[in-house]
Amino acid sequence: MPTPSLLDQPVDIEILAHPVSESDLSGLCILLRESVHAGASIGFLDPLSESDALVYWRKVALDLDGGHRLILVARDAGRIVGTAQLALESRANGRHRAEVQKVMVSTSVRRRGIASLLVSDLERRARERGVRLLVLDTSEGPGGARAFYDALGYSYVGGIPGYALDPDGAPARNAIYFKELA
């Protein structure tokens, strides 16, 4: 029986447990493929095959064992509707720093504050781990999320022309951001 949507209730934000269950891997693959298909510039070209999406999630799931990566998921009635990652720097001169990566929310539930909740939870967990500086980049093009990071108080640094291809193959400048955590 399909899970009913409970979006009139708050989503649950939690750390993705590892080893990652097959059903969570499947939910993450659906979210990633849907986001790329909708134009999100998050490291892939459209169409992204199911098998390539699975290879990606299995690879980052392995990183969870080392403790250098944190993956958060937002669930609505158990179903994954959003995710965000924190890649912790392991080199001795950069352990105060981490990168926010792969923030994405299902197209059907955007503009309801889910990504804001995910990123603020990531920030809290980053602080707890002694991280004082967050960095990230997004696309300057239609596949990017500049308005989102501006709204969350991230500072824009600049961008590199043609840094990556948007999902449709068009080269786009990236937009580099940082935030100092109090």
The C-alpha angle with vertex 33 and arms to 30 and 123, in degrees rounded to 5, equals 80
Q: Which of residues 28-47 bind ligand COA (CB under 6 A)?
A: 35, 40, 42
The minimum distance between CB 7 and ligand COA, in angstroms, equals 12
Alpha-carbon distance 121 to 71, whole Å? 11
Alpha-carbon distance 43 to 47, whole Å? 12
C-alpha distances (whole Å) from 174 to each of 56, 128, 159, 162 are 22, 29, 5, 7
The minimum distance between CB 92 and ligand COA, in angstroms, equals 27
Q: Which of residues 105-144 bind ligand COA (CB under 6 A)?
A: 105, 110-116, 138, 144
Residue number closest to ligand COA, CB atom = 115
The minimum distance between CB 97 and ligand COA, in angstroms, equals 17
Binding site for ligand COA (CB under 6 A): 35, 40, 42, 102-105, 110-116, 138, 144-145, 147-148, 151
